[in-house]
Amino acid sequence: MQHTSVKKRIFLSPPHLSGRELKYISEAFASNWVAPVGPNVDEFEKEVASLVGAKGAVAVSSGTAAIHLALSLLGVKKGDTVFCSSLTFVASANPILYLGADPVFIDSEPVTWSMSPSALKEALKEAASICKLPKAVIIVNLYGQSAKMDELVSICKEYQIPIIEDSAESLGATYKGKASGTFGDFGIYSFNGNKIITTSGGGMLVSDDTDALSKARFLATQAKDPAPFYQHSELGYNYRMSNILAGLGRGQLEVLEERVAARRAIFEIYQQELGPFLAVSLMPELENSFSTRWLTALTIDEEALGVSINELLESLESENIEARHVWKPLHMQPLFTKNKYYSHSKNENISEKLFKTGICLPSGSNMTLGEQKRIIDCIKVTISNGLKKR
Ligand SMILES: *Cc1c(COP(=O)(O)O)cnc(C)c1O
């Protein structure tokens, strides 16, 4: 009987505990604060707000819930339109549908891979001409890299359109020294299991508008009116974060800086080892910005390399390594076939190109050098086989 040893799986971005979480979780147990309210929730909110320099924060059950609340606070209703980055995870746009509104998708630009200012400008110009301006613009900071916020903010200001910054992947990133997630009217972070820090599942809404944040807390706890009985005048949600999970978050937040540094170091190694291949380009970092490098992403020139993205993914999978395509743009998703889309320019469709040529490599902050070597060796072998075939 032949025995084949299966190599340990390397995941794309697994959770990474700090060892400090149990202290906060034990406190929750000891004090019986095992509820979606309690001291860990209050402290976690204060800690995140202070870290990013926002006036306040509301801890919720997911990043998606935070986007849903932000859109509700901005009064998005059935029939409204909301602009959204196209190159992102579906969770950025799903809450637009929850509210019965219509997303309009905006392309990326080549440096940040995030929202293209020229596409946004074009979309707003056209929307203004038919008197159908959006109620909000959702700007996603992709893979931990801040979008070109100065340009995007100034375009939105011109039309007085509020901004929601989807910083699910960019907690710890900065743009011109200011924290990612603090450029719009609202910012959101995610603590899902695959993000930079995790509460196993959770999210945070941040803003300088403390009245709006109070309203968010109200909406997130079933919109209970201040009455001596259960009275409800508005539609609410059950979106608050548990005090146990907030404890997990506090233990994670203490090591955020280390986690970002680890992910950036992983990127540097990929850059050193794979960057020299002329047909390989790693995702750039915008000048005057600091990316979390949540995931190391790169694009390849399939023809010059003699290898396709699918072949790369297959060889990695055969070595029990989890890698992924770059997000499939939302305007290409069957769910959104009826929705409008604005490309970077007439002849340039950046998000589609990134999807066709891009790959995300394992980037977990707890990945060992040996594991990263396994990934790099596998890619190099695949590339050299491809080059031989040509
Ligand atoms: C993860 C993610 C979300 C959703 O966050 P959840 O906490 O999983 O709901 C939203 N937007 C982007 C860009 C994400 O990566």
- Ligand 1 pocket, 188 CB below 6 A? no
CATH fold for the domain made of 21-253: Aspartate Aminotransferase; domain 2 (3.40.640)
d(CA 342, CA 172): 30
What is the full per-residue pLDDT of the chain (390 aa) written as tens digits?
555 578 899 999 999 999 999 999 999 999 999 988 999 999 999 999 999 999 999 999 999 999 999 999 999 999 999 999 999 999 999 999 999 999 999 999 999 999 999 999 999 999 999 999 999 999 999 999 999 999 999 999 999 999 999 999 999 999 999 999 999 999 999 999 999 999 999 999 999 999 999 999 999 999 999 999 999 999 999 999 999 999 999 999 999 999 999 999 999 999 999 999 989 999 999 999 999 999 999 999 999 999 999 999 999 999 999 999 999 999 999 999 999 999 999 999 999 999 999 999 999 999 999 999 999 999 999 999 887 876
**Please, are residues 330 and 93 in contact by the beta-carbon 8 Å criterion?**
yes
- Give the CA dihedral 66, 365, 246, 204, nearest 10 degrees: -20
pTM reported for the whole predicted model: 0.97
Q: Whose CA is nearest to atom 2 of ligand 1?
A: 168
**Ligand 1, closest atom to CA 195?**
1
**Ligand 1, closest atom to CA 141?**
13
CB neighbours (10 Å) of residue 374? 20
Going by DSSP bridges, is the β-strand pair 186-190/203-207 parallel, antiparallel, or unpaired?
antiparallel
- Ligand 1 pocket, 140 CB below 6 A? yes
From ligand 1's centre to the CA of 226, what distance in Å?
A: 32
- Ligand 1 pocket, 207 CB below 6 A? no
Residue 380: half-sphere exposure toward Cβ, Cα within 13 Å? 12
d(CA 114, CA 350): 10
* pLDDT, position 367: 98
From ligand 1's centre to the CA of 26, what distance in Å?
A: 28
* pLDDT, position 4: 58
d(CA 42, CA 255): 19
Q: Amino acid identity, residue 368?
A: T
- Ligand 1 pocket, 181 CB below 6 A? no
d(CA 213, CA 235): 16
Q: Determine the residue of 12, 90, 114, 166 to mutate for testing ligand 1's pocket, defined as the one with the most ligand atoms within 8 A of the Cβ atom.
A: 166
- Give the CA dihedral 164, 168, 171, 174, nearest 10 degrees: -50
- Ligand 1 pocket, 89 CB below 6 A? yes
Residue 35: half-sphere exposure toward Cβ, Cα within 13 Å? 9
DSSP state of 229: S
Q: Whose CA is nearest to atom 6 of ligand 1?
A: 63
Domain ranges of the chain: 21-253, 256-389
- Ligand 1 pocket, 190 CB below 6 A? yes
* pLDDT, position 3: 54
- Ligand 1 pocket, 63 CB below 6 A? yes
* Strand-pair partners of 174: 179, 290
**Please, are residues 102 and 82 in contact by the beta-carbon 8 Å criterion?**
yes
Long-range contacts of 74-77 (CB under 8 A, 24+ apart): 74/135, 74/136, 74/162, 74/164, 74/185, 74/186, 75/135, 76/101, 76/135, 76/136, 77/101, 77/135
* pLDDT, position 6: 80
**Please, are residues 216 and 54 in contact by the beta-carbon 8 Å criterion?**
no
- Ligand 1 pocket, 192 CB below 6 A? yes
Which secondary-structure segment (H or E) carries 76?
Answer: none
- CATH numeric code, 256-389: 3.90.1150.10
**Ligand 1, closest atom to CA 194?**
1
